[in-house]
Structure 1
Amino acid sequence: MEGRHSPAGVRRAVPLETYRLPTNLLFARRYRKPEEILKRTLAVFLAVLIVPAAIIAAEKPKLVVAIAVDQFRYDYLLRFRAEYKQGLDRLLTRGAVFTNAYYQHFPTVTAIGHSTFLSGATPSISGIVGNDWFERETGKSVTSVSDDAVKILGGAGAGEGGASPRRLLVSTVGDELKISDSGRSRAIGISMKDRSAILPSGHMADAAFWFDHKTGSFISSTYYFSELPAWTSAFNAEHPADHYKGSKWMSGRFDQAGENLYNAVYNSPFGNELVEAFAERAVEAEKLGQRGVTDLLTISFSSNDSVGHALGPDSPEVHDISVRTDQVLGTLFQFLDAKVGMENVLVVLTADHGVSPVPEVNQARKMPGGRMPPRIVRDTVQAVLVKKYGEGNWISSPSEHSLYLNLELIREKKLDRAEVNQAAAEAAMGISHVARVYTREQLMKGAVLEDQISRRMMNGFYERRGADVYLLLEPYWMFSADGTTHGTTYSYDAHVPVIFMGPGIKAGPFDETIAVNDIAPTLATLLGIETPSGSVGRVLGEIFDRKNGNHKRAE
């Protein structure tokens, strides 16, 4: 991984066993009295044993607020910088800003980004290989958080199959925080999307809440509790989403009612406002950051993603919602300052992925890109396999970029799985604008071109849940029939903001290339807890304010 070395001027902690008593103490001058020598020797010996090996104690933050802005490309910080006056401005001027932070996996989608955020794990370790995938054991597609063992609480789907973090195979910062203090810390996740609330907050979270489009309410599941907390029900009883009826945004007016209104709210900056208001209520009701321990609040703003998919990164709507995100964050920070004190709050902000320009926009400015014909991959591969091996439904999954082949059919025809996978890969590689094709065998053995793209493809492969064949299109090409999308390993999808702000953090720009996976071990070090179990990142020690913050070390 990039950036493994320590930046200039930053001292690494020296392992305890490398410390040795100074020779001038081992060979003390003869004129010193024996008792003086003994006192000095003991004092230095204790200092060497105790102080350099540990961080000089300082108060931990009362609250960690981990924020993900869905589909917020890094360059939005640059393009709209002059218009940021509130929350993003505060982060950019008072925070440690990493200008070259990238995701190290494929595909770059919401579930994987949110699972990476506070676990530091790649899909090859976390098991979260997509927003959804084909589950061979059940023969059906599942989502990253679907769980039939629990039920939905609240909303139109109350009592139906629920959601939980059980498909996540690793721990998160929240889990390790709660383990460290026997569960006294609280961890709560909030978003419009279930996966965006559940995956960052972890297995031991006290709650995760997400938005129900049919009722305009925030809901949860029985994984966390048997009924919604009273404060959540009270918030929902106020029908806050209905307050947007008659509101205007850009060229539209929200005259709808019911589910149509709630969908419109979700597809606008007002969805982010709802999430922020609900987060305020959670802080108040759960007394987050006000109980003498460090609590964790994860917030994901999903509406940016919805607007971006429909209209693309060059649209006035994305420009506007980005500026309004600055305002929403400003409102949040103002509230936290009054309730907890921002000097007691550690904030980290990132995005779960970027997004590609709309192909037609790119073409108009003489850039590459385009749209693939519908079903081009599945139809092409199906036809080749039928011709080579005989009739049958050769593909079990609906995805175009991740093909799960029909293993039952392969066994029935007594074929070699690897051979069929290779035939499918060769068929896919013959399609125009396909840049790379990988089989599961190649990814398992590392028999791939040794470059950044292949590393990210391997990081995205988990054998028990992975597909048989993976495709990567040429830059700016996509399978979407309209709007735009994300998912590739290219910079426009993988380059995202990473900003830390709060006690113990050195403000300023940091240009060294880092991975989003570095966030989790850095937070763990700042909090003095175990690193999450699947983390592959490094500690971003260059941002530690060792003179004034939690991480001052003895020299």
Structure 2
Amino acid sequence: MKKLFSFILISFMLIQCGSANTKSHKTITQKNTSVAQQIDSLKRPKLIVGIIVDQMRYDYLIKFYHKYGEGGFKRLMSSGYNLQNVHFNYIPTYTAVGHTSIYTGTTPTNHGIIGNNWYEKFEKKYIYCVDDASYNTVGTNEGGQKSPYRMLTTTITDQLKLAQNMKGKTIGISIKDRSAILPAGHTANAAYWFKGGDDGKFISSTFYMDTLPTWVNDFNNSGVANAYLEKTWDTYYNIESYTETISDANNFERPFNGKESPSFPYDLSELRKENGNYDLLKAVAFGNDFTTDFAKATIIGENLGKSEFTDFLAVSYSSTDYVGHQFGVDSKEVEDSYIRLDKNLEDFILFLDEKVGKGNYSLFLTADHAAVQVPSYLQTLKIPGGYFDKDKFKAFVNKQTQTYFNSTELIENISNNQIFLNKEKIKALNLDILKVEQVLVDELINFSKVYKSVSAHTMQATSFNSGILQTLQNGYNQKRSGDILFVPNPTTISYSKVGSTHGSGYSYDTHVPLIFYGEGFKKGSSNTYYPIIDIAPTLASLLKIEQPNGTTGKTITEVLK
């Protein structure tokens, strides 16, 4: 009887165990099916549009808000996700570095683009970030020996191509070559930039193609560029309503050649003769109209957003930078440029709605850096600021090496707020390079315009977790940067006393807009701090693809649906 009872008990337990296993198997199967369904139903946007506005301060969104229409910046701000406290987290804040950091999701420490130009210490010469003699110009005689090969990491555009087994199209466009080439990445189908002078054409490089597509030639031959230079640039609204900026003709702006006063109106048909012919188009507000025209032509010519794969169009508006450099942050010219850019954005977004379709595209808008107010203007308001005299600084540095080491040959180069030491001479004099570095670091702080100084060896041995030295460290690349780095005083620039510039780690150069808009993004706003390097990983999360291979940024989860 006991044996029978034991047999029944064991049989019951085995049945229950089998039932549990069946239930468990069903649960796992259901979960796997759910994951599979999610993957199978993954819907990426048909087109990603990245818009970078060159030299746009965040406060332009607020300062000129009541001058904007409803369909440009206001539409993006109200219907997209507006991040109000986004900063570049490195030095230097230059165009090439900004575009690269946005698209790679990391800083110069990893991606290697440490400036627009820099001193290459191994080749002992200045180089330009996208110059590449391995390739030839496409579309004209010169200006196209370019490629992104000095960029050491992948971009979000590269990762999208890799994720789709090289399907889908990636195209970068801008008036500036570096602003088209670096965002488009290493795997781009094309990058196009504007060749001024007597050409007046969008061109490319054999890195991408052997001949320009028919649609590009058609655009170049359409006479659009020439038509803009037959216009007069006057204010969009009555200049008396431009109360957000200082007087039109002032001492803080640089006039165009052939015009005595830096003031409206500008007869471009007359000015082009003494201002580089088609180069003048880069430097006026109509350059942004022209860029918008070409962006629309690119979408039509390449059928972007029409295939089963996701395409990526990287657009950079450069004319705002040229205008800012010439006339300054507080000029009527800058105000009018943003009023007109707002109209360009409205036109472009409506075009995307029609040609790609609402719900089929995602867009982000940001800037590659901001800009300082003209120091000579700030000085009239008793605000500290000034100008860094490079010649006086060089003489000061040589005086220190003469005093401490009895030589004026220890400095090989001074550029981009970095000192490159002459290693051969230091070795020949049997000097300790660490001592040379430290002596100069200690003495540089005595130069009136220097705020901070630090050696490369300190950068390699110390981790700075906050402040200006952290941003300096994020911009330091052991392979390419100098032996001593220094930071000028706030609002102190190496520039003329007219016009604005940029490059520092101070908030006037680092604080930029960032708006995500379209498919996959929420509506909303946030004042939470985010570094600019968070854009690329956020796009990777949206697209469900791998992040760029040097990424140090993080996904901004609050913007994603």
Whether the TM-score (by the shorter chain) exceeds 0.5 is yes
Q: Does 2:353 align with 1:337?
A: yes
Give the 5 Å matches for 1:377-456: 377-399=393-415, 401-446=417-462, 450-456=465-471
- Give the Cα–Cα distance (whole angstroms) in 1 for the partners of residues 114 and 150 of structure 2: 10
Q: 1:323 aligns with which of 328, 339, 342?
A: 339
- Give the Cα–Cα distance (whole angstroms) in 1 for the partners of residues 323 and 148 of structure 2: 27
User: Does the 8 Å CA contact 1:176/1:530 hold for their aligned counterparts?
Assistant: yes
Give the 5 Å matches for 1:6-405: 41-49=24-32, 51=34, 57-85=41-69, 86-157=71-142, 162-214=145-197, 215-250=199-234, 251=264, 252-254=266-268, 255-257=270-272, 260-399=276-415, 401-405=417-421
AA at the equivalent of 1:384: Q
User: Does the 8 Å CA contact 2:399/2:408 hold for their aligned counterparts?
Assistant: no
How many percent of aligned residue pairs carry the same amino acid? Answer: 35
1:455-476 deviation line (CA, Å, top 9, x unaligned): 1111101111011111111211
User: Does the 8 Å CA contact 1:93/1:507 hold for their aligned counterparts?
Assistant: yes
Please report the TM-score for the alignment, with normalisation by the length of structure 1.
0.88
Q: Does 2:523 align with 1:507?
A: yes
- Give the Cα–Cα distance (whole angstroms) in 1 for the partners of residues 133 and 445 of structure 2: 38
User: Does the 8 Å CA contact 2:68/2:339 hold for their aligned counterparts?
Assistant: yes
Displacement of 1:275 in angstroms is 1.1
AA at the equivalent of 1:146: D
- Give the Cα–Cα distance (whole angstroms) in 2 for the partners of residues 138 and 209 of structure 1: 29
User: Does the 8 Å CA contact 2:118/2:416 hold for their aligned counterparts?
Assistant: no
Partner of 2:58: helix, strand, or coil?
Answer: coil
User: Does the 8 Å CA contact 1:311/1:358 hold for their aligned counterparts?
Assistant: no
- Give the Cα–Cα distance (whole angstroms) in 1 for the partners of residues 55 and 302 of structure 2: 29
- Give the Cα–Cα distance (whole angstroms) in 1 for the partners of residues 73 and 96 of structure 2: 24
- Give the Cα–Cα distance (whole angstroms) in 2 for the partners of residues 211 and 119 of structure 1: 24
1:302-344 deviation line (CA, Å, top 9, x unaligned): 1111111122211111111111111111111111111111321
Displacement of 1:505 in angstroms is 0.8
AA at the equivalent of 1:425: V
AA at the equivalent of 2:95: T
Runs of 4+ in 1 over 6 A off after TM superposition: 32-39
Partner of 1:264: helix, strand, or coil?
Answer: helix
Could you tell me which residue of structure 2 aligns to residue 477 of structure 1?
492
Q: Which runs of 5+ in 1 are unaligned?
A: 1-29, 546-555
User: Does the 8 Å CA contact 2:49/2:364 hold for their aligned counterparts?
Assistant: yes
Partner of 2:132: helix, strand, or coil?
Answer: strand
Which sits farther off after the overlay, 44-53 or 136-145?
44-53
Could you tell me which residue of structure 2 aligns to residue 551 of structure 1?
none
Please report the TM-score for the alignment, with normalisation by the length of structure 2.
0.87
Partner of 2:399: helix, strand, or coil?
Answer: helix
- Give the Cα–Cα distance (whole angstroms) in 1 for the partners of residues 211 and 223 of structure 2: 19
Q: CA 1:419–1:447 in 2, change beyond 3 Å: closer, same or farther?
A: farther
Q: CA 1:484–1:394 in 2, change beyond 3 Å: closer, same or farther?
A: farther
Displacement of 1:513 in angstroms is 0.7
Flag the structure with larger Rg: 2
Q: CA 1:261–1:53 in 2, change beyond 3 Å: closer, same or farther?
A: same
- Give the Cα–Cα distance (whole angstroms) in 2 for the partners of residues 47 and 434 of structure 1: 65
Displacement of 1:451 in angstroms is 2.4
Question: Superposition RMSD on alpha carbons, in Å?
Answer: 2.3
- Give the Cα–Cα distance (whole angstroms) in 1 for the partners of residues 435 and 338 of structure 2: 48
1:134-192 deviation line (CA, Å, top 9, x unaligned): 1122211111111111122233416x7x1111000101111111111111111000011
- Give the Cα–Cα distance (whole angstroms) in 2 for the partners of residues 400 and 179 of structure 1: 35
Partner of 2:119: helix, strand, or coil?
Answer: strand
Partner of 1:220: helix, strand, or coil?
Answer: strand
User: Does the 8 Å CA contact 2:120/2:126 hold for their aligned counterparts?
Assistant: yes
Displacement of 1:263 in angstroms is 2.2
- Give the Cα–Cα distance (whole angstroms) in 1 for the partners of residues 108 and 38 of structure 2: 32
Aligned length: 513
AA at the equivalent of 2:267: R
Which sits farther off after the overlay, 253-262 or 55-64?
253-262
Could you tell me which residue of structure 1 aligns to residue 256 of structure 2?
none
Displacement of 1:401 in angstroms is 1.1
Could you tell me which residue of structure 1 aligns to residue 476 of structure 2?
461
Could you tell me which residue of structure 2 aligns to residue 4 of structure 1?
none
